[in-house]
Amino acid sequence: MSVAPCNNRAVVPHRQRGDMLIEALVGMLLMAVLGLGLTYAASRTMTSQRYMNTQNLAVEQLREKLQTTGLSGLCAAGTTGASIQIGGQSSTLQATNCTRAAVTISGTGVPSGAISSSNAPYINATVGTAATDSNAALFGGNGQVSVAQ
C-alpha cells in the first residue's frame, strides 16, 4: 500500500510573469533620457561659455583701441576700421553712426568759424563686426556695441 502525500496539489512549475524585467527596462529608459537631458544642458552651457569668453576678449580689445586711438580714431577709420585678434583669427571693427558734438563759440575777439563741425569731437558711435560667416562662428553671431562719451 502506498502512502498519499498530504498535499493533493500536483507539482506545477511557477510561471515567471516578467514584471520585474519590464520595471527594470522602464527604469533604465528613464535614466537614459535623464542622462541625455543633462548631457545636452551641459553642452549648451559650455557653448554659451565659449561665446561669452570670446565676446569678453573682443570687448577688452575694443576698450584698448578706444583708450589708445579714442573714439575719433575709430570713427576716422570708418568701415575699414581697426582689427582685433582673437584666437589667431582677425576680425575688423566697423564704426558707423559717428556723431559729432554740436559746438557753438561766441564771444568778443573769437573769429567766426574757429571750430567747425568737422573739427568737433565725436560723442557717440556704433562699433560692430562685419557680417561674415567667420565672425558669426567666432562670436556666436554678428553684433554691435554703442559707444558714447
Residue 92 pLDDT greater than 80, yes or no: no
Using a pLDDT cut of 90, give the percent of the chain over it: 18
- The span from the CA of 38 to the CA of 45, in Å, is 11
d(CA 24, CA 97): 64
State which H helix or E strand residue 145 sits in: strand 144-148
Domain ranges of the chain: 19-148
Q: DSSP assignment, residue 33?
A: H
4-58 pLDDT per residue, tens = 555 655 555 566 677 888 899 999 999 999 999 999 999 999 999 988 888 888 8
Q: What is the pLDDT of residues 75-84, one digit of tens each?
A: 776 656 677 7
The 3-class secondary structure across 61-111, one letter per residue, is: HHHHHHHHHHHHHHHHHCCCCCEEEECCEEEEEEEEEEEECCCCCCCCCCC
Residue 2 pLDDT more than 80?
no
The pTM of the full predicted model, rounded to 2 decimals, is 0.58
Using DSSP, state whether 146 is helix, strand or coil.
Answer: strand
CB 110 within 8 A of CB 94: no
Residues 25-54 as b/e (b if ≥16 CB within 10 A, e otherwise) read eeeeeeeeeeeeeeeeeeeeeeeeeeeeeb
